[in-house]
Amino acid sequence: MSAATSPTALRALLKNYGLTPKKGLGQHFLWESRVVERIAGAADLSKKDVVLEIGPGLGILTAALARQAGLVIAVEIDRNLFPLLKENLKDYDNIRLVQGDARTVDFGALLQEYAPGFTGSCKVLGNLPYYITSPLIMRLLDGGFRKELLVFMVQKEVAERIAASPGGKEYGSLSVAVQYSADPQLLFQVPPHAFYPPPEVSSAVIRLNCRKRPAVDVKDEATFFKVVRASFRYRRKTLKNALREAGLWDPTKENIFEEAGILPGRRGETLDLVEFARLADVLLQTQERTEE
């Protein structure tokens, strides 16, 4: 690829193609090949792997992935980047570039179209546009196709929230939701100067190892996530008040806390996934008993 190995070279390359980075699309392009190689290296790729890449941009990570994986399917929203992206990747025959929005594209259908014989679990990577990080990660974890792991560059604070343990201020709904389906590993930080243009925040690379089964067994996922969301929506309140305010628990009815073995004066942010699961299951049981 026409490698831009400095911010100045990258700016000149963009200028040649009449492009300016779009802030609204989170366009901060990596130019440091050392960082790129570390991201690609974090996915333990081999030629048997099919990779989905989110937001290839100018293709610097795409090329590194294509050197190690069997096939790379890369989804980029900005059609204006395609002439330069295609030029940069013209030497690779194992890359499929798709113009589309990662928030809505059907990844399962893309895999069927471009890797019809592939029966394994794919790997998902990307230097993510920060404006959609959390919903995109949840969408990718939820759905519709088999994956083994995800490696993402995200805002450092988001990486810390995803990997947080109970008790700290970073621990919240995002931590629980991701940890329900995956085991997160914070890998390394990347300073703003590794990108052109540099973002205002520091970044970090996180690896999410997908679980074969959710981290906890729950009777009903919807109830589990309702309890989790309510507990963190009113962070400063006790669990009992948070669930009451969310309309999930009526204090005049059964004492779900006693039955779940959880003190009602605790705050949601101190509960681990097992405790959230227990509380949600008891809540569901009491609701079912009331309906009988």
Binding site for ligand SAM (CB under 6 A): 25-30, 54-58, 60-61, 75-78, 101-103, 127, 129, 132
For the CB of residue 203, give the shortest distance to ligand SAM in the complex, in Å: 9
Q: Report the relative pairing of strands 29-30 and 122-127 from DSSP bridges.
A: unpaired
For the CB of residue 206, give the shortest distance to ligand SAM in the complex, in Å: 15
What residue number has its CB nearest to ligand SAM?
55
Cα–Cα distance between 15 and 24 in angstroms, integer? 19
For the CB of residue 287, give the shortest distance to ligand SAM in the complex, in Å: 38
192 versus 265: smaller Cβ distance to ligand SAM: 192
92 versus 225: smaller Cβ distance to ligand SAM: 92
Q: Report the relative pairing of strands 195-196 and 29-30 from DSSP bridges.
A: antiparallel
For the CB of residue 75, give the shortest distance to ligand SAM in the complex, in Å: 5
26 versus 268: smaller Cβ distance to ligand SAM: 26
102 versus 162: smaller Cβ distance to ligand SAM: 102
The residue type of 67 is R
54 versus 162: smaller Cβ distance to ligand SAM: 54
According to DSSP, the residues that pair with 72 across neighbouring strands are 51, 95
Q: Are 206 and 187 in contact (CB under 8 A)?
A: yes
For the CB of residue 92, give the shortest distance to ligand SAM in the complex, in Å: 15
36 versus 279: smaller Cβ distance to ligand SAM: 36
For the CB of residue 96, give the shortest distance to ligand SAM in the complex, in Å: 14
Q: Are 185 and 161 in contact (CB under 8 A)?
A: no
